[in-house]
Amino acid sequence: MAKDYSELTQEELIDLIYRLEKKRKYGLVWDEEQAPEEVVQNCSKFLPVLKPLEVKGIVKKGLEDHVLIQGDNFHALSVLSYTHKNQIDLIYIDPPYNTGNQEDEEGFVYNDKRVDSDDTYRHSKWLNFMSRRLELSRDLLKDSGFCFISIDEHEFAQLRLVCDQIFGEENFVNFLTWKKRSTGGQVKDGSIITQTEFIFIYAKNKKIGKLNKIDNPNVGTEKWRDFRKSGGQWQRRHRPKQYYPFFYDSKNDVLLLGRLKKTDVEIFPLDSKGEEGFWENGVDTATKRLKSGEFKVELIKSGLLKGTYKIKQLEVASDVQNVGNFVDIPSVQGANEIRELGLAFNNAKPLNLIEFILKIASNKESLILDYFAGSGTTGHAVIRLNSIDGGNRQTILCTNNEANVMAPKGISTDVTIPRLIKASNGYKNDKNESIPGLGGNLRIFETDFVKNSKNKDQIKFDIAEKCAEVLCLKEFTFDLYEEHEDWKIYRKDNKYVAIYFSLLPNNLESLRLAMNAIIGSKILYCFTLDPNGLDFYQFDNWNDIELKDIPQKILDTYKRIFNI
């Protein structure tokens, strides 16, 4: 029922005006309260951490590490908010498209129920779900980083507006139109075949982030075009110094920038009506280019200037080019790639599509995040590109273990993990041919929880006891090197990370001796209840150690994102 404003007091009216003035003037509004997300709400009661998954990943010396986190991506992103703030170069996600489909991955599960197309809150639910995850993941990007998001027509408009809100409209780069098929499957009479999907591109900060040019297939090809400036401000008055004559000896086909013979013909930059323009370079550059054979003369065969000459310049296609925003890669490639691995998953993106994104938005050392990993295409594409160009890119992938008819034990168990292991180690394809492995280690974790408690010390003890894997992820050191009651040391090459879990200092001395015996880069995470951190003087006799305290900063992150 409409409010009767005449009954409000002056104070109430003023308060109302203030509130209306504060309201967003333009953008997207949705119902956040009607159907809040339980996963998000429960985080104030159970704080997410990580634990190793029973299934073994791939652990080989000297290979780059990739990480798979099995669990809800809101939990994984919360952990990453502590471990990887401002550290990710590229995020690619392919979220559920909210198609209303009850079966496949493009449908959308919210509060453990599939959202169908008749649900009047379907867009609100999807926006609740996406906005929380996009907000967390935006903060994980480096200032130079980019976020690519796949979407189809169902939530295209909503995604654009919510991303403008989260990334800022000024950081919208473009969207790719991906042509995934040429013909449709079953299409209703008189309707339109859906051939495309879209990939939104946002920069964390468009002033800082730059996309790569990619290899130009026309590299080295020659093209001749007019040396006279055309388009925009092309008249002589705009660049008077670039209006000068070439001299042409037509009998001997000799072109010069000074007169040699009386009979030489002068060639000026004139348009088809004879109006004076200017050359694209000044006379000094033109002299150099003339010497290297970059100009030729062409007879004008029609129009007002028929019988006179014009100058053409040589253009050689460079080895790289900016990409366009149209990509034509059949989606059936993705389906074939899954089948060839002996696995079953609908709507896996083609490796070539993800490789295209990696080429334009990553370099050989980039850290790449996909938190709707599904069948693991992004992980597969990263190790494949690394094996092609010798790169050292690393990925963090997250997927839930949603079960379906094709993956009865869950997507992660039945598809993502086997796919990544097969791609790294090699496998026999569906024709019994041996496909060599692409390399790379795989570290597999699942989400776990620490019960929140009113007792602030208790919660610190509980987090410290369960934070080893979180710290391993933070430092990307996953191999246990040495362990003892109260402490562990993890290692990657010559980097060593020690964790001291106990409040009692009894075993600190044994850890000091172990760490002092190590030569390499060394970090110590040490437990303290003091919210202000550790007393650095206590660690004077530790050699070359970088000292960090736990678990206050983990708690601070959770306070910020869960409002606890």
Burial class (CB in 10 A: 0-12, 13-18, 19+), 77: buried
Measured from the CB atom, the residue of 400 and 441 that comes closer to ligand SAM is 400
Question: Before 505, cis peptide (omega within 30)?
Answer: no
In the complex, the smallest distance separating the C-beta of residue 391 from ligand SAM, rounded to whole angstroms, is 20
Q: State yes or no: residue 394 binds ligand SAM (CB under 6 A).
A: no
The residue from 286, 348, 444, 459 that contacts ligand SAM (CB under 6 A) is: 348
DSSP 319-367: SEEPPPSEEE--THHHHHHHHHTT---TTPPPHHHHHHHHHHH--TT-E
In the complex, the smallest distance separating the C-beta of residue 397 from ligand SAM, rounded to whole angstroms, is 10
Burial class (CB in 10 A: 0-12, 13-18, 19+), 56: exposed
The residue from 175, 227, 356, 372 that contacts ligand SAM (CB under 6 A) is: 372
The residue from 37, 81, 82, 96 that contacts ligand SAM (CB under 6 A) is: 96
Phi, psi of 16 (to 5 degrees): -65, -45
Measured from the CB atom, the residue of 96 and 391 that comes closer to ligand SAM is 96
In the complex, the smallest distance separating the C-beta of residue 369 from ligand SAM, rounded to whole angstroms, is 12
Which one of 238-246, 398-406, 437-445, 499-507 is the stretch in contact with ligand SAM (CB under 6 A)?
A: 398-406
Q: Provide the H-helix boundaries in 7-121.
A: 10-22, 38-42, 73-83
Question: Which residue from 472, 181, 212, 191 is spatially nearest to 322, judged by alpha carbons?
Answer: 212
- Whose CB is nearest to ligand SAM? 374
| Region for residue 78 given its phi and psi (left: phi exceeds 0; alpha: psi -120 to 50; beta: otherwise) | alpha
C-alpha to C-alpha distance for 125 and 94, rounded to whole angstroms: 17
Question: Which residue from 556, 528, 564, 563 is spatially nearest to 81, judged by alpha carbons?
Answer: 556
The residue from 374, 391, 418, 439 that contacts ligand SAM (CB under 6 A) is: 374
Q: Per-residue x/- marks for ligand SAM, 100-139, CB under 6 A?
A: -----xx---------------------------------
Q: State yes or no: residue 37 binds ligand SAM (CB under 6 A).
A: no
Q: State yes or no: residue 399 binds ligand SAM (CB under 6 A).
A: yes
C-alpha to C-alpha distance for 205 and 142, rounded to whole angstroms: 9
Measured from the CB atom, the residue of 72 and 89 that comes closer to ligand SAM is 72
Task: Write out the H or E segment, with its range, that includes residue 501.
Answer: none
C-alpha to C-alpha distance for 366 and 88, rounded to whole angstroms: 8
Q: State yes or no: residue 414 binds ligand SAM (CB under 6 A).
A: no
Q: Per-residue x/- marks for ligand SAM, 46-75, CB under 6 A?
A: --------------------------xx--
In the complex, the smallest distance separating the C-beta of residue 45 from ligand SAM, rounded to whole angstroms, is 18
In the complex, the smallest distance separating the C-beta of residue 180 from ligand SAM, rounded to whole angstroms, is 12
In the complex, the smallest distance separating the C-beta of residue 283 from ligand SAM, rounded to whole angstroms, is 56
3-class SS letters over 101-137? CCCCCCCCEECCEECCCCCCCHHHHHHHHHHHHHHHH
Measured from the CB atom, the residue of 279 and 372 that comes closer to ligand SAM is 372
Size of the site for ligand SAM (CB under 6 A): 19
Phi, psi of 437 (to 5 degrees): -70, 155
Residues near ligand SAM (CB under 6 A)? 72-73, 94, 96, 105-106, 345, 347-349, 372, 374-375, 377, 398-400, 402, 411
